[in-house]
Amino acid sequence: MKEYVATRLLLLIPTLLGITLVVFFAMHAIPGDPIISILGEDYDKNFAAQLRVEYGLDRPVIVQYGLWLLRLVQGNWGKSINSHRPVLSDVLYRIPITAELIFFALLLALLIAVPAGVIASTRPYAIRDYSSMTIAMIGISIPEFFFGILLILCFGLLLGWLPTGRFVSLADSVPQNLVHLILPAVALGFHRAAILTRLVRSSMLEVIRQDYVMTARSKGLAERLVVLKHALKNALIPTVTVVGLQIGFLIGGAIVVEKVFSIPGLGSYGIDAILARDYPQVQGFIVVAASVFVLANLLVDILYAFLDPRIRYEKKGT
C-alpha cells in the first residue's frame, strides 16, 4: 500500500507540471501584448521596454516558463492588473469559501444518492424505482444555475424562508454562513445527486445478481442485511471513483452557482478576472482549480486502492 501511495504521489509531479505548462502556454496564446494590457493604449515606450525586461518578456518562451514556474513555487503569483492586490493572497482567501460550498454539495449529493439508488435497485421497475429515476432524469437535465434561480424564486422571494442576499463568511458568523449556504449547496448538489443515484442503482443491480449475494440470501440472512452489508459495500466502489470525477464537475458547477448567489469564492474570482482580462488573476485561478481537481483524484485513487485491494496488487504485478 505504501509503495502504491508513493508511486501515485510521485506521478503527481509531472501532472502538476503538465497543468502549469498548459496554463502558461494558454496564456501565451492569448492575442495581444500583455504589457499594453497593463499600461493601456497610451503607454510610454521606454517604460514598456523596462517592464518587458522586468517581467522577463524579452527572453525565450521556455526561459519565461521556467521563471514563471520558479515564481509560482516561491509564492510570487504576481499582482492583479486592476486591483494591484497580490494574486496568491486573494486566491488563498477564496479557496475555503468554494471548498465549503463543494463539500456541502457533495455531502448532500451522497446523502440523497446512496439511499435513493439502493431503494430504487431493490425493486427494479416498481413505482419507487420509476419515481427515483424520473427525479434523477430531471436532476441531470436541469442546469445548476437555473435550479439555483428556481430555489431563489421559491425559497427566497416567494416563501422568504432562506436568505439569498449578501454572503456571510464562516469567520463572521458560523450559523449565518451555514444558512446562506443551504440554497447554493442544494443547487450544486442536486445535479450531482441525480448522476450518483443512477450510478448507485446500476452498480447495486449488478452486484445483487452475483453469486455471493445469492449465497447470503440462501443461508437465510435478512434482505436488509444482504442489501446493506453485502451488496452495498461492493456497489459503492465504482461510486467512489465517480465521486472523484464529480469534483471536477463540482468545480465547474461552483463557478456558475457562485455567480448566481453572489458568493465571493474562487469561481466568481476567476470569472470576474476573465471578463476583466486580468491575466495574473486568471492564471492563479486556473492553476488552483486544476490542481485541486488533480489532488482530489489522487485522494480518490488512494481511497479506491484502500477499498479494493485488487487495484494495488494489479499495479504491483504490471
Taking the C-alpha atoms of residue 171 and residue 264, their distance in angstroms, rounded to an integer, is 14
C-alpha cell at 225: 442485511
Of 11, 137, 225, 299, the one binding other proteins (CB under 8 A) is: 137
Confirm or reject binding of residue 151 to other proteins (CB under 8 A): no
As a residue count, the chain comes to 318
Q: Considering beta carbons, is residue 108 or 204 the nearer one to other proteins?
A: 204
Confirm or reject binding of residue 294 to other proteins (CB under 8 A): yes
Q: Are 185 and 297 in contact (CB under 8 A)?
A: no
Confirm or reject binding of residue 282 to other proteins (CB under 8 A): yes
Q: Rounded to the nearest 5°, which phi and psi values hold at 84?
A: 60, 20
What amino acid is encoded at 199 in this protein?
L
Q: How many CA atoms lie within 13 A of 136 on its CB side?
A: 24
Q: Considering beta carbons, is residue 17 or 107 the nearer one to other proteins?
A: 17
Q: Rounded to the nearest 5°, which phi and psi values hold at 168?
A: -110, 125
Q: Which of 153, 158, 215 is nearest to 187 (CA)?
A: 153
Q: Considering beta carbons, is residue 22 or 214 the nearer one to other proteins?
A: 22
Least distance to other proteins from the beta carbon of 18, Å? 6
Q: Rounded to the nearest 5°, which phi and psi values hold at 86?
A: -65, 130
User: How far does the chain reach from its first CA to its final CA, in angstroms?
Assistant: 15
Q: Compute how many other C-beta atoms are within 10 angstroms of the C-beta atom of residue 201.
A: 24
Residues 8-47 that bind other proteins (CB under 8 A): 15, 18-19, 22-23, 26, 29-30
Q: Considering beta carbons, is residue 51 or 205 the nearer one to other proteins?
A: 205
Confirm or reject binding of residue 248 to other proteins (CB under 8 A): yes
> How many residues contact other proteins, by CB under 8 A?
45
Residues 175-214 that bind other proteins (CB under 8 A): 202, 205-206
Q: Are 304 and 311 in contact (CB under 8 A)?
A: yes
Confirm or reject binding of residue 252 to other proteins (CB under 8 A): yes
Q: Which residues are at the interface with other proteins (CB under 8 A)? A: 15, 18-19, 22-23, 26, 29-30, 124, 137-138, 140-146, 149-150, 152-153, 157, 202, 205-206, 248-249, 251-253, 255-256, 259-260, 270-271, 274-275, 282, 286, 289-290, 293-294
